[in-house]
Every structure is written in C-alpha cells, then in structure tokens.
Structure 1
C-alpha cells in the first residue's frame, strides 16, 4: 500500500506542475517516437473548467483507429450505444480485428512500427511486454494525471497497482478486474457466487430413501453413496465431469474445489505445483476410495460433454460435479424429483485471481493521446458504463431493444427489466447488433458493468451465496505466473502436464490406497526429473514480483 500512496503523490505532483506533456515524460520514450507523439495543444488537467469532466473539454468530432485483437468481436460502432458514446465525447471508433486469434497480425504491426491509435488485446498477450520494451506505448498513469484525472479516481485501484511495469508506470489498462470494490459490491448483492460456481449435486429422492443422512464430510458422503448404490446398482455413484486430465489445470481430479486444491500451492514465500500439496493427496485418496468401493467409473475420464449431459439428464448417476446453474436438473427417470446442490465441505476453497482479461493501450503513433485518454476516462466512468452497458432507464419495457427502457432503479440499484433481459438472452447477437449494450468493454469496471444483472432478490442465489461465499478466496498475486509455452520452463511444464494426465488415472484407479500413493510418489520423482523445480522457481520469482508490486 505504501507504494500505491507514493505513486499517487507523484501523479498529483505531475498534475500541478505539468504545463507541457514532457513534464511527466515516461522513461521508455525513445527518440524515434518523440517527434511524432507530442499531444496536440489542449487544456491540461489543471485547466479543466469547474463542473466539467475532462472528456467534456473538447467534444469536436474525431475518429480513432482501434485494433481489437479478437477475431470474434462483432460490433462496428454503428449501433445505438456507440452513437450515444460519440454524442457525449465526440469520439468515433474505427474498429479492425484479425482473421485468426494468434497474435500474428498484432506482431506484424509491432514489427513494422505501424500501430493504430488504440490497441486492445488479452492482458496476457506477449505483445504487451514487447511493446513496452520497445517504448511504443504511452504511460497511462502519466497521461491520466495530466489530461484525465477522473480515470485515476474512477478506475479500480488495482488497475494502476497490479499491472505496473518495471519502471513503475502502467502501459495497459486491464478491465474486468475483480478487486476490492467489486468484491464489496458482489457480496452486497448476493452475486459473488453465480451460476458458474463449481459444486456437487446429488439426487434428492435417493437421499430421502435412506433417511436424508448427513453428507457434509467426504466420509459421510461416501457412506451415503454406498447405501444408495446398494439400492440402485445400475446407477453410477459419482460422476466427475473431467474428461481428459490434460484439461485438469488446477489438479483437482474432478473434485471441483471440494478439497481446496489449486494449480499453485503457496509454501511460505515459494510456489510449488498444486499436486505436491496435502490437499491433492486428500482428493486423490478420496477418489481412489470411491473407485475401490465401485462408486466411480472411468466414464468420468472418457465421456465428452454431450455424453456427460445426456447421462445427467437421464438420471443415470447418483451424484455429479458441475456448476450451480446446472445443479438442479430433473432426471427424466423420475420427473418428481431433482438433483440438489450440495453444501460444500469445510475443505472447499475456490481460488480466484480477479485479474481481469482485456487490456487497452495507447501507442505513441497516436496523434491525439489527450483525446484518447479522456475517451478512456469516459468509458471507465459510471456515466460511460450507463451508456455502454445499462441502456435507458424506465419502468416498463416497450419492446424496442434500441430505445428501451432497459433497466429500472430498485432500492438504489439498477436492475434489467425482466422482459428486456429475456429478449436479450434469447437473441444475444441480434439484440447486441442493434443496441450495442454490453459490447464495448473498453475500460470495464466489473462492479458497475455487471450491476444491472445482479438480482439480489433471488432466493436461490441468496442461499447459494451463504453456502459458498465464504469459500471464495481472491489471490491476485497468483496472476500470470506461467512461462511462455516456447520457453525452456514452458516446455518443461508441458512435459510435466502430459505426465500428470498419464499418471492421474493410474493413481485414481489403483487397487488400494497403498498402491495409489506408490504411483503418486513415482509420478513426483519423474516430474522432478523432467525439471519441475525449475518451473516452480520461475513461478516463485513471478509470484514474489507480483506480491511486491501489489504491496502484499
């Protein structure tokens, strides 16, 4: 936190003292870019008239070229949301995108030194580091301090602490960050736990048959499955929805956070592979126990998603792992019952980094960085979110997806009108192409962006948030630890992951716990021989760097 305060003090100094942009020039400037990147003569932050926002100082028409590194992006700034943004800022955006999502087009632009006014790409794209190293990007904190101070106030604080470069400046604005503000808001509105929360479900009719016993521990759950399986031998006991273990990136063996394991295990100030932890051993012993009791089959590691869904819908399994949104299905073999979402074990922990995903950058080839940073400040403001995502306020949906109304204020909170939201859900792309709401996530504050969707009156999710809310743990310092795939450490990690996918099923389906643990120890030795400690040292270095930058 001390570093954040000192950075803010520096920014405030820049605001007061800046009369020309070079007063706060960033350390990555290079001679080749300086001549063409001087901002046009507009008022500095200190000269913004009282009562005006920075983006209101100049609303003359301007078009900014934006490259969005997402081939699937559908809108093109012709919808009603885009028109309203232009009306309020004067900014129109000409959007281009790649044919394939492989960074090839972006890398070509970097190599040829022909970047547009705006770059948007996944925050983990290697292109960001390359552009920073080449001095091709403006420092956003310095631009904001001089031209758009609202951005420093409206942005989640993590946007300017969690992604600083080695020179302590921020060159990419990351959106959808689930930081302190977001976490406070989602808890207030029972939205921390949503439909995609991992969980286990079990058939209510079968539980009632055996007297609704306690299933709050792995041992009690296993005992209940044994009883039910004895009455229904044709049913599968536990169905883990894993598929190929190559995709088991968090080393959970299909247990969906129930044992609190994660791909990274924090051991003091070091990071180890999650499969070294005691939590992994516990989930392995649990899965092996299910196997030895004939409560687990290899279908879990073979079936496709379609087959998995078919078996759940038909009621062929007693319990299964999936997500809350899919956890209350009605099995077709007994339409008078349903699968119920189980309360989590005490060991349940879901780790989230909350690091966001998309990033916005301003190349030095941009001739109007002051207008661009003010556009970014608008998009990051609450007003920008109301226009770009919420839509038109009103009490009754007219049936017109463009003119709305789209949401109403309920107890001081925006909530989408059910009729509009139903139309949107049924034809997302069609509605979005007309009104553009929710498509221009150029500087998204996850709390404001998602607020109209959070229905804090839904009794089911009030209960789910009570059940799982305290089990969600944010660890932002674990963000982006992995090496590049083509690096030495990246190649080692791939080999270890392949080894894990080979050994995982062997460990689970061993004939006894003793044999299972023996195979597990063999796996660890082979992983170490492949160079796993080298990868763990790489993770640790990045983790420590993150923790220092975030003041952890």
Structure 2
C-alpha cells in the first residue's frame, strides 16, 4: 500500500473509533496454475465439492493455515481445534485458523495492524463504509473469479444478493455471513413463566396490560426486576415497533425512517416519541431495572440465570433467554422463561409489528486481505462452510457426534446422543462460534425440522422461540443495506455526531421527571440534530435507498 493511501486509511479508522463487529492484490495476479489446486472431503456425509476443480484449491493436499480477525470489541474468537467441529476441520480438511483477538479495542487494533502493515489474512467486519475504506486503499482481494469457480455462495445467496454486495468498481470484496432467503431474527419479549403463573397468568398483550403486570410484580416480588431491558437499555428500541404498525428497530438504529419516498429524522416519528414517553414512565416508577444504562452483559445474564427477571425485552432475546432458561431450570425445575408475541399499544395490529429486521445479505461480512499468501484457499474454505456439508458440521457438529445421517434435504437426523445430551452441555461445546459464513436458509430450515422431532422438554428453547415468534415478527430490511455515508465524508462526520447526540439524549429522556420533559427533550434533540446538518445525511440515505430499490427490482 502506498504511504499516502495508508495515512488516509489510518486517519479514517482513527476518526471512526466506533467501528464495530466484524483484495486487488499481487497475490491475486498469480497465474492459475501457481495456485493450489477445491475438493471436499468424503468425511461428513456427502460428495459436495469432491470433484476436483481445475486450478482450484484441494483440501487435504497439505496443511493450510491462515490468520483471522473479528473486528468487534466484544468478540473473542475461540481457539482452533478446541471443540469438535474445528478439530474435525483441522483433521479432515487440513485447515487451521490462527485467531487474532481485538482485546476489547477493535478499532485501535485494526488501526495498529494497518500501520504496521501486518493485516490478518482474513477478517470479519460490518458491511458498508468500513469495507469500502479498505477497498479504496487497495488492501482487499476481489472475489469475483472465486465466486464463479466455487459452487456454494452463488447457489445459496443468489445473483440478487451478490449484486447488492458489489462495490463502486463493480467487483465483490465481501463474503456474507448469515445470508438468507427467509426471515431471521433474535429480538423480542419473554416472561418468567414461574412468576407469571403465580400471578394468575393475566392477559399480557398491550402496553396497558404490561404496565399493570409490572406493577403487580413490583408489589409482590421486591427482589425481582419487573422489566429487564439489557445493557445500555437496548431493549427500549425493541419496544418501539409496538407503538406503530410497520415500524422496525432499524429505524431507531439509523435515527431516521422512510416516509413516502424519502427519509426523515426519527424525532418526527410519532410511534418513537410515544415509546420514549412510555419507557421513561416505566423507568421513573421503578418498573425498569434502574442500572440499565450502566450494567454489563454478565450482570443481565446472572439475573436471568437466577430467575430475578419478570419480563425481558431485547434484540438478542432468543439467545440470552435460552441461556437463562437452561441454567435456571437446571437449578430449579419449576423455573423457566416463555417467549411471547411482541407487546403493542392498544389498537395496533400485532401482526404488523416488527421487533426484528432481516437482510438477505445477512449480518456482517468476511474480507480477504492482500496479506494472504493464498486468498483462493481462504475463499474455498468459506465457500465450503457456506454449503450443506460445511453448515452441517460447523453448526450441528461433525458426523458421528450428534447425528449420523441426513435427510433428502440435507438436514442432519439426530442420533441417540442428541436426545440424551442436555442443551446446556451442547452450549458448552460452542459449535456455532465457528460459523463465519453462515447460510441461514439452510441452518434455520434444518434446525427447525430437528427441534420439531424432539420431545418438548428436549427442544432448544431459542430455536422454538425463533420459529414460533421471532421470525414471524421480522421485517425485510434488505433495501436499507449500505445506505450510510462513509465516516470520513462530510455526511459521515455529521452522522457520527448525530449518533453521539442521540445516545446522550436517550439517557436524558429515560431519566426524565415527566412526560412533558421527555417531549421537550425530543424537540431539543431534533433542533440540535437539524443544526448539525442531519438533512444532508437524510438526503444521502434517500438517494442510496432508491438505488437499492432499483437494484432489487432489477432496474
């Protein structure tokens, strides 16, 4: 990378230290016959990828190792070979991954690696501006030739999804993670079933019902949190869609929402305003955990694991609920949690409320850097993982552990060990932690089929919550993909300022002494946001959004 390009990129990354969860290379210019010839392994249960692709990478010819970094403060990549599926890959595919950890400071870590010219071979990060900065600096490998050579990404993601990943130069640099052709999502509500029964199982469908119930809980169970909203009170954003049909949490995250054919500030959204007034009322009456803005994730999980939460709402509810349910029920058989339909304001159609949003492109992306000595081998591994065999092994475990055969659709058929092993024990094996090229279409269909075959007491709590509620309350947000401005641009700097301002005002609104104070703070936030020039961001998003709509419609 040229010195000037590096300086520009490093400066941009430093300015955007809030970068979160996680190439045109001389390596890629090598003639095809210099690359390692992909073939799959006969281990794992099918013939997928077993035919040798001309000039493709052949798994198992000799050991292959690459470094991998996940660009999130909170992420710790599990050690390779320490659990059944990564060990299987190491032994059967001869692939080893060397994790590079963020150490809780992802943006700084990435900046340091760029400055020292020691980028990882591959990394996971958010789609959009962060990827584009790296691409513009010439440190990412284009994947187009590999996509045409290897079968799975193109087969399962489809041309439309892949086109949405193209950069301005017309090439694809991003391998999506958890791409999907069907609704996904983990957000929503669940209740403490033990307390709920003890209080007579009252109707719990509207915000009025919830308010009455939370007051009952506070009066009867002084040591229990009536409504848990997670760290930084993120659950308040998940409550928002219940106040107006057609809304989704994505609007809250963007601090803006579509109105007709253009974007407007979230401070004009009446449902969002009502939600903040309601949440503040619950908070000042002690019905929401009082340390919501300062508590850590571990504190939330500890409360759930000991049954000290009556109602929970959050964006990762199916996962934290599953962990809390299994741990608590293991200690107290009468304990447990039950996932419920989203709470709505009276008069709102509960079937048109979306606490979840999904994107055909999935969650985040993998990129391969020009530091990689064999980028094609890394792509071949990601592509194998995205196929049926890879998903079976990396999500459900290797053949012979919890399944021995698979059905006509490629879904694993549970064996006796699957039935006899407690879910809590399966969770400890952290099988899903190694799925970096998730194919949600395959996994969600397969795990639903498996769970429906199990006795109720052995079903995966989170999977059932997804199937029964979360996925049915998920909005297709693909059209809003990659519509944010690059952080180093004028619009990007304004957007960052607006985000920081919104976080400041969010806390003030939650701590407000009255409904009128909340509404006054909303007007103040709007005025300051307008003063920062947020309209430029809204105009930028509108343009990019309309371009996406045209792509989706094939124009």
TM-score (norm 2): 0.67
2:441 pairs with one of 437, 447, 450: 447
DSSP-derived class of the 2:239 partner: coil
Aligned residue pairs total 478
Q: Return the alpha-carbon distance in structure 2 between the equivalents of residues 122 and 419 of structure 1.
A: 36
Q: Residue 199 of structure 1 corresponds to which residue in structure 2? A: 189
Q: Between Structure 1 and Structure 2, whose CA radius of gyration is higher?
A: 1
Q: Residue 355 of structure 2 corresponds to which residue in structure 1? A: 350
Alignment of 1:290-439 (within 5 A): 290=282, 295=287, 298-301=290-293, 303-305=295-297, 308=300, 319-321=311-313, 323-324=317-318, 325=321, 340-345=338-343, 346=350, 348-354=353-359, 355-361=362-368, 363=370, 377-386=383-392, 388-394=394-400, 404=401, 406-409=403-406, 413-417=411-415, 419=417, 422=421, 426=425
DSSP-derived class of the 2:356 partner: strand
Q: 1:320 to 1:273 in 2, by over 3 A?
A: same
Q: Residue 68 of structure 1 corresponds to which residue in structure 2? A: 68
- 8 Å contact 1:164–1:549 — kept in the other structure? no
Higher mean C-alpha displacement, 472-481 vs 232-241: 232-241
Cα deviations by residue, 1:525-547 (Å, 9 ceiling, x for unpaired): 22222333333334434434444
Alignment of 1:97-496 (within 5 A): 97=100, 102=106, 118-124=121-127, 128-135=131-138, 137-145=140-148, 147-148=149-150, 151-157=153-159, 160-177=162-179, 179-180=180-181, 182-183=182-183, 192=184, 196-201=186-191, 209=199, 212-226=201-215, 228=216, 232=220, 234=222, 238-244=226-232, 248=234, 252=236, 255=239, 258-259=242-243, 260-262=247-249, 263=252, 264=254, 265-290=257-282, 295=287, 298-301=290-293, 303-305=295-297, 308=300, 319-321=311-313, 323-324=317-318, 325=321, 340-345=338-343, 346=350, 348-354=353-359, 355-361=362-368, 363=370, 377-386=383-392, 388-394=394-400, 404=401, 406-409=403-406, 413-417=411-415, 419=417, 422=421, 426=425, 441=435, 443-448=437-442, 453-454=447-448, 455-457=450-452, 459=456, 462=464, 465-483=467-485, 488-496=490-498
In the TM superposition, residue 359 of structure 1 has moved relative to its aligned partner by 1.0
Q: Return the alpha-carbon distance in structure 1 between the equivalents of residues 36 and 289 of structure 2.
A: 69
In the TM superposition, residue 163 of structure 1 has moved relative to its aligned partner by 0.7
Q: Return the alpha-carbon distance in structure 2 between the equivalents of residues 130 and 452 of structure 1.
A: 37
Q: Return the alpha-carbon distance in structure 2 between the equivalents of residues 550 and 453 of structure 1.
A: 29
TM-score (norm 1): 0.67
In the TM superposition, residue 61 of structure 1 has moved relative to its aligned partner by 3.0
Q: Return the alpha-carbon distance in structure 1 between the equivalents of residues 61 and 267 of structure 2.
A: 56
Q: 1:159 to 1:54 in 2, by over 3 A?
A: farther
Q: 1:225 to 1:357 in 2, by over 3 A?
A: closer
- 8 Å contact 2:189–2:311 — kept in the other structure? no
Cα deviations by residue, 1:139-173 (Å, 9 ceiling, x for unpaired): 4223443x445653354545522211113221222
Q: 1:119 to 1:510 in 2, by over 3 A?
A: closer
Q: 1:61 to 1:488 in 2, by over 3 A?
A: same
**Can you give the 5+ residue segments of structure 2 that lack an aligned partner in the other structure?**
1-22, 39-48, 71-75, 344-349
Q: Return the alpha-carbon distance in structure 1 between the equivalents of residues 312 and 388 of structure 2.
A: 41
- 8 Å contact 2:263–2:541 — kept in the other structure? yes
Q: 1:272 to 1:63 in 2, by over 3 A?
A: farther
Indicate yes or no: 2:529 matched with 1:524.
Answer: no
In the TM superposition, residue 441 of structure 1 has moved relative to its aligned partner by 4.2
In the TM superposition, residue 319 of structure 1 has moved relative to its aligned partner by 3.9
Q: Return the alpha-carbon distance in structure 1 between the equivalents of residues 124 and 263 of structure 2.
A: 28
Q: Return the alpha-carbon distance in structure 1 between the equivalents of residues 325 and 376 of structure 2.
A: 52
Q: Return the alpha-carbon distance in structure 2 between the equivalents of residues 506 and 131 of structure 1.
A: 37
**Can you give the 5+ residue segments of structure 1 that lack an aligned partner in the other structure?**
1-27, 87-91, 184-191, 395-403
